[in-house]
Amino acid sequence: MMTNPFVKIRRELHQIPELGFQEYKTQAYLLNYIQSLPQEKIEIKTWKTGIFVLIKGTNPTKTIGYRADIDGLPITEETGYEFSSIHNGRMHACGHDFHMSIALGVLTNVIHQPVKDNLLFIFQPAEEGPGGALPMLQSEIMREWKPDLVIGLHIAPDYPVGTIATREGLLFANTSELYIDFIGKGGHAAYPHQTNDMIVAACSLVTQLQSIISRNVDPLDSAVITVGKITGGTVQNIIAETARLEGTIRTLSVESMVKVKERIEALVKGVEVGYQCKTLIDYGAMYHQVFNHSGLTREFMEFVSEQDQATLVECREAMTGEDFGYMIKDIPGFMFWLGVDSSYGLHHSKLLPNEDAIEMGINLLTKYIQYKGN
């Protein structure tokens, strides 16, 4: 039986996933709830489809920031939920519905039980792309209300409910989108010598790209190049005049990201010569690594280890990308995994996170903010 009101909120938000900078219904829902709370000690400002909420402390010496991302993904949901997405081809498949409901729960608690320091809740759009953290960080509102430290969480399907996993230093990788277009000369399938076949060119490059990881990246470092989509051609008996590769790059170091891109560009130039074609490279959205502040993270880990209802795991770094990395590049802070125990992983159409994690997350973060802010 559903008793926690923030589970209900999660389910309502789950039904209205929207893509980056299109989160109009989501923003309206969040504002409606926030404006229903006592307004005496809070100030609300909107930024594009995002929201800043400042809660004034009783005797502030600093501002503690908490960030929750709000966008969904272009995925057709297959969970079977009664509260499945009503937006065709859109789904909260990365847990941002959880992130928002937990943030609202913590916000509600600290409005009714204010702490000494100021608190800034940041509801950030476009985490999945094209990236909302960096422009939000550069906004006039953030310059005015800039916190002294900032915290974020991400649900973790691989961990059971009650588990908090994090580490000092590198937690999530540097990431970049990758789009490569090939422009050649099409023609009849029976006369290949009169054409420049871009499907052949694109497929040749796909195999060459993997040599970057095996031969150009330090074996003690780590990197990934994944081509997730190939498009080209029109019908089976026409040689393709154009083709397109879409993929992602992940590296554990900034230096490796630079090296990988240099090698991609060199190989693409070789394809231009070898296949007599033109190419265009677009790196799309690029996210800075999530590098947790050592002192703040260690303090948080010690706090979690003392809680009866939480199990602390010191995890390894992951190739996951998160634009929260820009925030903690500029502001001391950290991110942690919140266990939700799902047999399906992030970005899967059947992601089924355990809703018990919502209450656990709210309680833990409320206690930590009260501890940190008093």
Active site residues: 69, 128
Q: Which residues 6+ apart lie within 8 Å of 83 measured at CB?
A: 11, 12, 14, 15
- For residues 37 and 93, the answer to whether their CB atoms sit within 8 Å is no
Question: What is the rounded distance in angstroms from the CA atom of residue 342 to the CA atom of residue 156?
Answer: 8
Question: What is the rounded distance in angstroms from the CA atom of residue 325 to the CA atom of residue 321?
Answer: 9
Query: What's the count of helices (H) and strands (E) in the chain, helices before strands?
Result: 10, 17
Question: What is the rounded distance in angstroms from the CA atom of residue 327 to the CA atom of residue 336?
Answer: 14
User: How many C-beta neighbours within 10 Å does residue 196 have?
Assistant: 20
Rg (CA), the chain: 23
Question: What is the rounded distance in angstroms from the CA atom of residue 265 to the CA atom of residue 212?
Answer: 11
User: For the chain, what is the largest distance between any 2 Cα atoms, rounded to a whole number of angstroms?
Assistant: 80
Number of C-alpha atoms within 13 angstroms, CB side, residue 300? 30
User: How many C-beta neighbours within 10 Å does residue 261 have?
Assistant: 18
Return left, alpha or beta for 80; rule: phi > 0 is left, psi -120 to 50 is alpha, else beta: left
Q: Give, as one character, the DSSP assignment of residue 253.
A: S
Question: What is the rounded distance in angstroms from the CA atom of residue 127 to the CA atom of residue 125?
Answer: 6
User: How many C-beta neighbours within 10 Å does residue 11 have?
Assistant: 17
